[in-house]
Structure 1
């Protein structure tokens, strides 16, 4: 695995795991962010979310909640690899080179963070996902939260 591919893999893992607190992105990273968001179709964003799900599902603390087969995982990895190849080597090649040159791994991380956020917006806007948030409220002591947030 080349150094650039390792950087890209680590960046994707970090970005999809949780939003990072970062300094303001440099202009090259912002340009790459804009290009990635502009170039990724809704289907592309779904591919990224599916990949992130398969990665997180391997963690021992949540593995019992998912039954992703090796064949499914391989198919998702293949689709995501094809997507990343297209985004970095074709759609946003100039922006990616500039972001790496000026910001290194952080330049990529910031840019892919923006794409990850767009993908999560798509996911979170789904009605069944929204209803799951409502279901959670059945188990939250809303009175305790209200007292903690309002009372001083």
Structure 2
């Protein structure tokens, strides 16, 4: 019972890692196996739903709230869908890998595995031609020679 409380706390860390998608994942062999299973066991639609949930949650931040319109009902649907996906992965598709990862590497292995899944999902989002075009727009406003000069050795 005590071990599962530890896993419950890891669940909160998983959600935070997905929402933030920060830091390098420190993976051991069991969390690597878990991450591989999570990525391979999710469809493009699953990954899109995960990114949608991350966006809907991030839209709560005051810095972006004025430009992101997500209703409470949409956020609730997205949160429920993501919870169902996590449940399916941890109790079904990747149960063995999750058990092994927690047993040998601790609950942070869950965080690492889901962080990698979040990174893969975000990478797929940014590979979309419309999103890629939006990213290219940034180049119009960047002074590349100025940056190159600032980053040159000896400057």
Shared fold per TM-score greater than 0.5: yes
1:78-89 aligned within 5 A: 78-89=80-91
Match of 2:115 in 1: 113
The ranges of structure 1 where at least 4 consecutive aligned residues each deviate by more than 6 angstroms after the TM superposition are none
Q: Distance in 2 between matches of 1:141 and 1:99?
A: 46
Superposed displacement of residue 6, structure 1: 4.0
Change (3 A) 1:44 1:29: same
Match of 1:73 in 2: 75
Superposed displacement of residue 93, structure 1: 0.6
Match of 2:37 in 1: 35
Gaps of 5+ in 1: none
Gaps of 5+ in 2: none
Residue pair 1:15, 1:112 contacting (<8 A) in 2 also: yes
Match of 1:104 in 2: 106
Using structure 2 for the length normalisation, give the TM-score. 0.88
Match of 1:7 in 2: 10
Superposed displacement of residue 103, structure 1: 1.9
Residue pair 2:53, 2:82 contacting (<8 A) in 1 also: yes
Q: State how many pairs are aligned.
A: 150
Residue pair 1:47, 1:80 contacting (<8 A) in 2 also: yes
